[in-house]
Structure 1
Amino acid sequence: MNFNRLDLNLLVALDALLEEQSITRAGERLHLSQSAMSGALARLRDYFGDELLVSVRRKMVPTPLAELLRPRIRAILLDIQATLETRLDFDPASAKRHFRIIASDYVLAVLGIPAVTKLSKLAPGITCEFLSQYAQPTDLLERGEADFLIMPHPYLSPDHPSRQLFEDDYVCVVWKDNELVGDSLTEAEYLALGHITTRFGNTRRMPSFEEWFVSNGGRARRLEVVTYDFNSAIQLVIGTQRVVTAHRRLADRQARFLPIRLVPLPLPMPRLAEHLQWHQYQDRDPANRWMRDLLASCAERPDG
C-alpha cells in the first residue's frame, strides 16, 4: 500500500534498520535477503532525501534525520498494531494472546506464580514470557517488545499509564542456626553483620533499593556477597552468619521451604510499592485491560 508516494511496507524496513543498524541483521529480523534490505534502504534514502544510515568505522550510524524519525516510526507501527488487535469483545476462555512482562525474580515469585496458575484455569490460550530487568527497562516498552513493566514507580516512564499493584516492606533474613542473631537486632548489630545484597545489569550494575537506602542514609555496611537476583540472595545466608535485607512477601514464601528465620529490620525503611505499566496504545485494548485486572487481583491475593 502506498501513502503519499511511500510504500508503507518500507516503514517496517526502516524501523528494523534503525533498530539493528545493520542491513544483514535487519534482513534476518524481517526474513528478507540482504539484497532486498539494501534495495529497501535505497528507496527510503530516495524518498527522504537523506542517507539515513552511514558507515562510520565499519558500523552503520543513523543520521540526525534518522534519529528524529526513529521514535515517530515506532509510534506509527505500534498504533497500527494496536488498531489491528482491537476487538469489540474479549473472551479469555478462547482468546489467543502472548504477553511479555519485564519483572524482577522477586515479582515473578510473589506475583507471577499465582498469575500463571490463574491463567491456566481462566485463559489457557494466553501465554506469558517473563523478561529479566536491565538498566533501561522502558526501552522495550517503548519499542513494543514488552507489554508490561512491573517495578517501583521511579523506574517507570512518565509517558505511559500505570497503576499500583501492591506494597511490601522489608525484613532481615538469616540462617535458622545463625548464632549471632536472636529474635531481634539493634541497628548497630545489623550494621556489624556481614551482608548479602543484589545488583542488576552486566556492566554498570544498579544497586537494589535496600542497598541504595542504607548507603544514602550515611550508614556503612560490610558487603560480603553480591548476587544478581533476590531469590539467591536469601538462599546464600544458609550455613553462614550473614544477613540479607529482603522483601517480606518473598521472605515469607522462601521460609516455607528453606532453613531461614525472619527478624524485624531495625531501620525505618520506606515501604516498597510495585507498579504495573503498559504502553499508551494498549490502554483500551480489551485483552491488555483484562490481563491488567488479573495481575491486580493476584497482587491483592498472592496465594490465590
Structure 2
Amino acid sequence: MRFKKLDLNLLVALDHMLEHRSVTQAAEHMFMSQSAMSNALTRLRTYFDDPLLVQVGRRMELTPRAEALRPAIRDVLVRVEAAIDRGPQFHPDRSDRTFNLLLSDYALNVLMPEVLRRAEAHDATVKFNLRAQTAAPYTLIERGEVDLLVAPEQFTSSEHPSALVYEDQYKVVAWKHGAYGKGTLDRERYEKAGHVVMVPPQKAQTVEGVSLAEHGVDRRIEVTTFAFTSLTSLISGTNRIATVHGRLAAMIPDADELVVHPFPFDAPPLRQIIQWHVLRDTDPGLIWLRDLVLEAAAALPAVD
C-alpha cells in the first residue's frame, strides 16, 4: 500500500531501524535479510531526502530529521495495531490472540500463577508472552510493544490509563541461625549488616532503594543478583540480610530456616499497577485481560 508515493511497509522497517539504530538488528527482528533491510533504508533516504541513520564510530546515530520522525511513525503504527486488535467482541475461549505482558520476576511469581489459573477456568485459548522488566518499562507501552505493564506505580506513565492491582510492604529476611536471626532489627543493625540486593536492568533504581535513599541509608552491599526471587536463597546459611517484598516473603519455600523482620523504616506501601496504552482503552480483549488480572489480585492471600 502506498500513501503519497511512499510504500507504507517501509514505515515498519524504519520504525525498527530507528529503535535499534542498526540495520542488522532491525532485519533480525523483521525476519528479513540484511540486504533487504539496507535496500529499504536506501528507499527511505531517497523519499525523505535525508540519510536518517549515519555511521558514527562503531554505531549508527539518528539524524535530526529521523529523531523528529520517530515518535510520529511509532504513533501511526500503534494506532494501526490497536485498530486491528480491537474487534467488536472478544471470546477468550475462541481467540488465538497473544497477549504480551511486561513484569518483574516478583509479579511473575506472586500474581501470574493465579492469572493463568483463572484464564484456564475461562477455557481461554489465548496465549501469554511474559517479558522481563526493563529500565523504563512504560516506554514499551508507549511503543505498543506490550499490551499490559505490571509494575510499581513509580515506573508507570501519567500519559496512559492504569489501575491499582494490590499493595505490598517490604520485609527484611535473615537466616535463622545467623547474626540477624534473633532479636529485633533496627536501623543500626540494618546498616551494619551485609546485604544481598537485586539490581534491575541497566542499574535502574528499585522502589526500596529509593525509599532507603530518602532515609539517608547506604546499604553495605556484598552480593547483587538479577532476580527478586533469588534473594532469600542467597542469604540462607550466611550472616547477610535481604530486603524483599512482603508477598514474596510469605512464599519462602524454606521458611523454617529464615526469619522475617519488619522493614525498620517508615515507608509508603508499594503500589503494584497495571497499565495499558490509551489507544487500547476500549479494546475488548484487553478489557478481559485487565479484569482477569484484577480478579486474580483480589484472590491473593492477605499479607501483614
Local SS of the residue matching 2:252: helix
| Amino acid in the other structure paired with 1:296 | L
What's 1:26 paired with?
A: 26
What's 1:86 paired with?
A: 86
Cα deviations by residue, 1:155-194 (Å, 9 ceiling, x for unpaired): 1122221111110112221223335433633333333333
What's 2:225 paired with?
A: 227
Task: Calculate percent identity across the aligned residue pairs.
Answer: 39
Local SS of the residue matching 2:146: coil
Local SS of the residue matching 1:47: helix
When residues 223 and 15 of structure 1 are mapped into structure 2, their CA distance, relative to the original with a 3 A threshold, is: closer
| Amino acid in the other structure paired with 1:293 | D
Local SS of the residue matching 1:172: strand
- Alignment gaps of 5+ in structure 1: none
| Amino acid in the other structure paired with 1:98 | T
How far does residue 109 in structure 1 lie from its aligned partner after superposition?
A: 0.9
1:205 equivalenced with 2:203 (yes/no)? yes
What's 1:133 paired with?
A: 133
Q: Distance in 2 between matches of 1:303 and 1:102?
A: 23
Q: Distance in 2 between matches of 1:179 and 1:27?
A: 54
Cα deviations by residue, 1:238-294 (Å, 9 ceiling, x for unpaired): 112322221111100115666322222332222110111111222111111110111
Q: Superposition pairs for residues 104-115 of structure 1, below 5 Å?
A: 104-115=104-115
What's 1:216 paired with?
A: 214
What's 1:297 paired with?
A: 295
When residues 85 and 221 of structure 1 are mapped into structure 2, their CA distance, relative to the original with a 3 A threshold, is: closer
Q: Is the 8 A contact 1:165 1:276 kept in 2?
A: yes
Q: Which moved more, 1:141-150 or 1:291-300?
A: 141-150
What's 2:234 paired with?
A: 236
Q: Distance in 2 between matches of 1:96 and 1:257?
A: 40
Q: Which moved more, 1:24-33 or 1:5-14?
A: 24-33
| Amino acid in the other structure paired with 1:105 | D
What's 2:186 paired with?
A: 186
Q: Is the 8 A contact 2:181 2:259 kept in 1?
A: no
Q: Distance in 2 between matches of 1:262 and 1:100?
A: 34
Q: Superposition pairs for residues 1-304 of structure 1, below 5 Å?
A: 1-57=1-57, 59-178=59-178, 180-182=180-182, 184-201=184-201, 204-255=202-253, 259-302=257-300
When residues 123 and 23 of structure 1 are mapped into structure 2, their CA distance, relative to the original with a 3 A threshold, is: same
Q: Distance in 2 between matches of 1:187 and 1:59?
A: 47
How far does residue 143 in structure 1 lie from its aligned partner after superposition?
A: 2.3
| Amino acid in the other structure paired with 1:272 | L
How far does residue 17 in structure 1 lie from its aligned partner after superposition?
A: 2.6
Q: Is the 8 A contact 1:192 1:222 kept in 2?
A: yes
Q: Distance in 2 between matches of 1:38 and 1:235?
A: 48
Q: Which moved more, 1:239-248 or 1:85-94?
A: 239-248
Please, what TM-score do these two structures have when normalized by structure 2? 0.89
| Amino acid in the other structure paired with 2:121 | K
When residues 194 and 33 of structure 1 are mapped into structure 2, their CA distance, relative to the original with a 3 A threshold, is: closer
Q: Which moved more, 1:216-225 or 1:8-17?
A: 216-225
Q: Distance in 2 between matches of 1:194 and 1:41?
A: 52
- Alignment gaps of 5+ in structure 2: none
Q: Distance in 1 between matches of 2:22 and 2:195?
A: 45
Q: Distance in 2 between matches of 1:60 and 1:224?
A: 38
| Amino acid in the other structure paired with 2:169 | D
Work out the number of aligned pairs and report it.
302
How far does residue 207 in structure 1 lie from its aligned partner after superposition?
A: 3.7
Q: Which moved more, 1:167-176 or 1:218-227?
A: 218-227
Q: Distance in 2 between matches of 1:243 and 1:160?
A: 37
| Amino acid in the other structure paired with 1:196 | V
Q: Is the 8 A contact 2:175 2:181 kept in 1?
A: no
Cα deviations by residue, 1:202-225 (Å, 9 ceiling, x for unpaired): xx4234222332233123443332
Aligned Cα root-mean-square deviation (Å): 2.4
How far does residue 80 in structure 1 lie from its aligned partner after superposition?
A: 0.8
Q: Distance in 1 between matches of 2:200 and 2:64?
A: 32
Q: Distance in 1 between matches of 2:55 and 2:239?
A: 56
When residues 56 and 226 of structure 1 are mapped into structure 2, their CA distance, relative to the original with a 3 A threshold, is: closer
Q: Distance in 2 between matches of 1:220 and 1:193?
A: 11
| Amino acid in the other structure paired with 2:274 | L
| Amino acid in the other structure paired with 1:300 | A
